Amino acid sequence: STNSTLENEVKPGSKWSTRDLWHCVLLIVFVVLPIRYFVAQPFIVSGASMDPTFADGQYIIVDQLTYKFNNATRGDVIIFRYAGDTSKFFIKRIIGLPGETVKIAGNEIFIKKVGATEFEKLDEQDITKDFSFTAEWTLLPDELFVMGDNRKNSLDSRYFGPIKKDTIIGRAFVRLLPLTTIDYLPGKLNL
């Protein structure tokens, strides 16, 4: 009876049957691919615009579902398609929300929230403020203002303007590589 039990187990080097192959194909088509295209997507950070929060070559998983049910929040790190070339993806931090006015004076950022009459200074304790810029933007209901954490070396909303919400792929959900930097909601700040 022991031999018959062993014959039913998978042994190293045993061949896959056609049935096993079809199960694998169906699993990929109905489980793996929908997750990859609608739930979570991997990206590799390229460039230094988010230093020191994200370094060149880090591997992250992007949550594509949250913003389908919830609004983006200030401080989230998002991945979006660049309007100037939709084949390119950018990673930036949300600074201004729909309907707000964003004012940059020198190296300080001020936000006038929807319905407010006064600007509030954005408290960015963890961001290096080694930049100087002066401008103001009032965001439309479908727009966000984004900036890289490496303010001195970031192509962001200061240069290409606010982004449309429908260009967002998702938010940085998990940093996987290198292993020493594994993190859940990496870079998330409460601004």
**Which residues are catalytic, by number?**
49, 92
Please report, for residues 52, 54, 80, 120, the alpha-carbon distance to residue 59 in angstroms, rounded to integers and kept in the order given: 15, 9, 16, 35
Question: Within 10 Å of residue 82's Cβ, how many Cβ atoms?
Answer: 14
Tokens of 178: 């290198």
Report how far residue 60's alpha carbon sits from residue 169's, in angstroms, rounded to the nearest whole number.
13
135 neighbors 109 (Cβ within 8 angstroms): no
Classify residue 54 by its DSSP letter.
Answer: S
DSSP 127-186: S-----EEEEEE--TTEEEEE-SSGGG--SHHHH-PEEGGGEEEEEEEEEESGGG-EEST
Tokens of 35: 């997750």
Tokens of 13: 């080097």
170 neighbors 67 (Cβ within 8 angstroms): yes
